Amino acid sequence: MERDHRPSAEKDQLPAVDGVTSRTVGLLTEQPPTTGPQSISRRPWSERRIPAALTALAVAAAAGTLLADVIRVRAGQSAAAWRRHLADELASRPLDDSAIQAGGAVLAALGLWLIVLALTPGLRHRLPLKTPDAQMHAVLDRKAAELRMRDAAMRVPGVSAARVRFSRRHATARADVRFRAPADVRADVRTSLLQELDRLALAHRPSLRVRVRPRRH
């Protein structure tokens, strides 16, 4: 069940929602806020729902088609053309036939991919954060982190355009410099981005690389 709340739409929907809030809050006793030790979020593991659903559907479709035809033949009708064709091909093509080799290569890649999906965490576009509470896990979308880092780089005087990319271990910033000496701008961008990385509170702090390009008109 997904619930949604936009402060901008407060006027229309709030009576109902606020009623719930005040009833819930009314049951509480106030306590002073506590700041527990910082805990590190582990990286979240994907449930792999989409690959699982696709694999399940593929197995069900293949088995279903075969079962339907087996039952048709049991009921006295003749086998479908695709089944006779498939039996002929399987019985006539030797293993060094290029179609069989290509099929084998595709199947090997597919099998390897499924194993990789099963063993890796996934969710590479979410960066785990430090959280104030061990019972809470938090992630920051990679896009959001890149946006904030870009904004931080753009605040440095002399930068006319900036782009920041996060990978697993590195944050790479590229900035175009319109005025001032590129080396100075690079040092300022570096300081500004390091501060911003501190503010992001990432659980695994990436190393920072900064590249600047002079762009004068």
Task: State the minimum distance, in angstroms, from the CB of residue 116 to other proteins.
Answer: 8
Which of these segments, 25-33, 166-174, 204-212, binds other proteins (CB under 8 A)? 25-33
181 sits near other proteins (criterion: CB under 8 A): no
Is residue 137 within 8 A of residue 115, CB to CB? The reply is no
Calpha distance 147→144 (Å, rounded): 5
Q: Which is nearer to other proteins, 67 or 181 (CB)?
A: 67
Q: Check binding of 129 to other proteins (CB under 8 A).
A: yes
User: How crowded is residue 186: how many other Cβ atoms within 10 Å of its Cβ?
Assistant: 19
Residue 21 or 167: which CB sits closer to other proteins? 21
Between 12 and 96, CB nearer to other proteins: 96
CB neighbour class for 183 (10 Å; exposed up to 12, middle 13-18, buried from 19): exposed
Closest approach of other proteins to the CB of residue 170, in Å: 19
Asked if 75 is part of the footprint of other proteins (rule: CB under 8 A), the reply reads: no
212/189 Cα distance (integer angstroms): 9
Closest CA to 133 of 199, 40, 200, 42: 40
* The one segment of 132-140, 165-173, 209-217 that binds other proteins by CB under 8 A: 132-140
Backbone φ and ψ of 106, nearest 5°: -60, -45
Q: Is 206 an interacting residue with respect to other proteins (CB under 8 A)?
A: no
Binding-site size for other proteins (CB under 8 A) equals: 101
Which window, 58-66, 165-173, 208-216, contacts other proteins (CB under 8 A)?
58-66
Q: How many angstroms separate the CA atoms of 45 and 33, rounded?
A: 31
Nearer to other proteins, 143 or 170 (CB): 143
Among residues 1, 15, 81, 216, the one that binds other proteins under rule CB under 8 A: 1
Least distance to other proteins from the beta carbon of 111, Å? 3
Is the separation of the CB atoms in 173 and 151 below 8 Å? no
The enclosing H or E element of 32 equals none
